[in-house]
Structure 1
Amino acid sequence: MKKIALFGGSFDPVHTDHINIIKSCKTNLNFDEVWVIPAYVNPFKTLSTSSVTQRLEMLKLATMDLNFVKIETYEISKQTSSFTHDTVKYYKSKYPDLEFSFIMGSDQLDNFEKWDHFSELIQEIDFKVFLRSKEFNQEIVEKYNLETFEFENNYLSSTKIRNLEDLNLQIKSVNDYVNNNLMYLYERLESRMDEKRYFHCLNVGQMAMELARLNNIDLNKAQIAGTLHDIAKRWTEEELKECLLKNDPSLLKEPVPVWHSYAGAFHLKNDWLMNDAEIINSVYNHTVGSKDMTTLDIIVFCADKISLERTYPGVEKLRALVKSDLLLGFKELLKNQYEVAINKNTKNSIGMKLIESYDYWIKG
């Protein structure tokens, strides 16, 4: 009889340890197939921070080289809170000639007896428990005579991944997908900045997309760079200084108010593991520009200054100018920024990068 492992969960996102459990089911437990069953809504979680489509796409990326894996959409298709008891009954009824076991992580043992129809469920199917951490509920294991298994464990969790922890251990294709779709922004951005700044970032992303559409530039890249341009804006001065010391100490000569653009670029490259140099450079250049500005750089620079919530005098005319002639609008914004900086400070204290940008783009 064919042996099938049912592996359910939120997979928000799927990560390396999920895949290592799946591989262990095949190589160590001798299952013929593993059926991965993403939940529509986990009964023990009140919020799923990604869409069903996104979670399915990430699962496809993560399992594309594993021909013994099937992604099952039974629970998702119900579009309601899912219970393991219903899922097990469905599969056992539909496939009576198959032998099923259910895969669970040891982190679920504490709530195990709270699962819906638990007394029936424990009789319905054999459970295989993978040890996700060094400490687990041994009492439950012994009480129900559960089998436990070790696997190649990185001690990851979806929560950690959403919060930028241990990304070096994450599946690269899944991490790229998350970055390219601006997923988990609440965890990654909003928690580090006030609401006003957060919505400014969203607005800049939208404005960057509009300008990209007008100038035949990749809309997705523009939205990502625009949305993430101020990612380090609310870091403390000490955090910014530490980042620049680590990555490029020469930037400490620039005024403190522009440090966030450089720190943000390094943060995306080193902590988000973003590998798109165009996006990273646009974040790097968004505050005072540089001599070497791509069209995407110019778009993000302008979008930051004319985003929807901006209400300073003359902004509507500048928006119209930028939308009708991107380069002309950019030059006008750069000129205004330079003049304001000179009036507010002195030429000796506005930083060399703004002077270089002004000299190249305005003075020619």
Structure 2
Amino acid sequence: MKRIVLFGGTFDPVQTGHVAVADQAVRALQPDEFWFLVDNIPGERKPVHASASLRLEMVRAAVHDDPRFTVSDIEIRRGGATYTGETMDELRAEQPATRFELLLGADSARTIRAWRYGDRLLRDEWFVIVNRSGEAPLSLEEASSLGYAPERVRLLEVDAPHVSASAVRQRVMRGESLGGYVPEAVAEIIGREGLYAQRSVRA
């Protein structure tokens, strides 16, 4: 069966930690494909700071020379608020013979019951839960207590830079260097578009 790992997020902006997690996940999991899913309007999170089209461009720029990665705009094309349950319905309709595996950070994994369609996701989906060095790890026992089916969960230990998108935005607002925080191609787009210098969403 074909396996595709899905790494969803706002990527506002994509940063070096995201890329490191993706790289280590591909090496460890050896999926047939690894997709970045860029949210349109996040249904579960705070408003975004850059437009969907620019966030998509930044993710594509971050991984453009790496054939292991696919950057999908399925959630942007659907429009409206992004809910993972709706994305999974669409993907399964398009590729019914494929096993999709949702890659989540441990913190996100702990909140899944609060998501729209969270119970359905727990019942139907496969998961890769990322434990990053220096953060509180999630065990299979805890995952089971949260409603995950242990046979559908794989835990992945990664050593990735502790960079947050909010820290990147704050550095831009303070006029500080983004070296080591985002890929160079992403920094160029941020500078070109004047992103994050103000708090409003750029069209």
Identify, as 1 or 2, the structure richer in helix.
Answer: 1
State the partner residue of 1:135: 136
Distance in 1 between residues matched to 2:10 and 2:44, nearest whole Å: 10
Give the CA deviation at 1:109: 2.7
Give the CA deviation at 1:152: 3.0
Runs of at least 4 residues of structure 1 off by over 6 A?
Answer: none
Identity %: 24
User: Could you tell me whether the CA contact under 8 Å between 1:63 and 1:69 is conserved in 2?
Assistant: yes
Instruction: Describe the superposition over 1:82-128 as per-residue Cα deviations: whole angstroms up to 9, x where unpaired.
Output: 11111112111210122211111122133211112222211211110
Distance in 1 between residues matched to 2:144 and 2:179, nearest whole Å: 36
* One-letter identity of the residue aligned with 1:64: H
* One-letter identity of the residue aligned with 1:15: Q
Identify, as 1 or 2, the structure richer in strand.
Answer: 2
State the partner residue of 1:160: 167
State the partner residue of 1:151: 158
* Pair 1:53–1:20, CA change in 2 (3 A): same
Residue-pair matches, total: 188
Distance in 1 between residues matched to 2:177 and 2:130, nearest whole Å: 20
With normalisation by structure 2, the TM-score equals 0.84
User: Could you tell me whether the CA contact under 8 Å between 1:40 and 1:76 is conserved in 2?
Assistant: yes
State the partner residue of 2:110: 110
* Pair 1:162–1:117, CA change in 2 (3 A): same
Give the CA deviation at 1:44: 2.4
Distance in 2 between residues matched to 1:142 and 1:96, nearest whole Å: 26
User: Could you tell me whether the CA contact under 8 Å between 2:44 and 2:83 is conserved in 1?
Assistant: no
Q: How well do the aligned residues superpose, as a CA RMSD in angstroms?
A: 2.1
Distance in 2 between residues matched to 1:110 and 1:27, nearest whole Å: 25
With normalisation by structure 1, the TM-score equals 0.48
**Unaligned runs of at least 5 residues, structure 2:** none
Instruction: Describe the superposition over 1:154-206 as per-residue Cα deviations: whole angstroms up to 9, x where unpaired.
Output: 1111111111188332211111211221100125xx9xxxxxxxxxxxxxxxx
* One-letter identity of the residue aligned with 1:85: G
Higher relative CO (Cα under 8 Å, sequence separation at least 6) belongs to: 2
User: Could you tell me whether the CA contact under 8 Å between 1:141 and 1:147 is conserved in 2?
Assistant: no
Structure 1 residues 320-331: aligned runs within 5 Å: none
Distance in 1 between residues matched to 2:138 and 2:41, nearest whole Å: 25
Structure 1 residues 220-299: aligned runs within 5 Å: none
Give the CA deviation at 1:57: 1.0
Give the CA deviation at 1:70: 1.5
Distance in 1 between residues matched to 2:66 and 2:18, nearest whole Å: 13
Distance in 2 between residues matched to 1:118 and 1:51, nearest whole Å: 26
SS in 2 for 1:185: coil
